[in-house]
Amino acid sequence: MRARVLIALLGLAAAAYGLVLLVSNGLDDLVAAVIWLAAGVVLHDFVLVPLTLGVCWVAMRVVPPGRRPPLAAGLLVLGSLTVLAIPVLGRFGERPDNPTLLDRDYTAGWLVVAGLTLVAVLAGLVVSARTRPRTGGPGARRR
């Protein structure tokens, strides 16, 4: 119980420190932060959630039940990594006066991760196909 209170107090202290820094930097930073936070909520609620629900709705009608878990895992991994990679894939923040920023081929890295995810999904589909119980065999239940 004491550890939880201590962790909560540390979290509140860190939040208060961040708020003091945000307010002390002027009104421009505060407005930019509010816009950034509001845009995140809007994008999540009106773009990401409907897109995810649409993909899942289609998958429920197209993909057989035994094949869904590996596909869902692949979608979760690749979708999350793609959303996280948007800033570097779009090269946002690139500056000509600092060539050390965004100094890699992030698209190639994302393609490698996408390929590895695809291989893992295919391996999961093969394993699920081989371990799926067969109906009508010697181990099948009779009524």
Q: Is residue 33 part of a domain?
A: yes
Q: How confident is the model at residue 77 (pLDDT cuts 50, 70, 90)?
A: very high
Domain count, the chain: 2
Same-domain status, 36 and 55: yes
The predicted structure's pLDDT at residue 11 = 96
Distances (CA, A) of 98 to 93, 95, 103, 110: 10, 6, 10, 23
Q: Is residue 11 part of a domain?
A: no
Same-domain status, 86 and 125: yes
Same-domain status, 119 and 76: yes
pLDDT at 132 exceeding the cut of 80: no
Same-domain status, 78 and 112: yes
Tokens at 46, concatenated: 């009106």
What would the pLDDT profile of 43-64 be if each residue is shown by its tens digit?
Answer: 999 998 999 899 989 988 999 8
Q: How confident is the model at residue 8 (pLDDT cuts 50, 70, 90)?
A: very high
Residue whose structure tokens are 């420190």: 17
Check residue 94 and give left, alpha or beta (phi > 0: left; psi -120 to 50: alpha): beta
Same-domain status, 73 and 126: yes
Q: Is residue 53 part of a domain?
A: yes
Same-domain status, 109 and 128: yes
Q: Is residue 76 part of a domain?
A: yes
The pTM assigned to this predicted structure is 0.65
Residue 29 belongs to what domain range?
19-62
Helix-, strand-, coil-residue percentages of the chain, each rounded to 5: 75, 0, 20
Same-domain status, 120 and 69: yes
> What torsion do the CA atoms of 51, 57, 61, 64 make, to the nearest 10 degrees?
90
Same-domain status, 28 and 54: yes
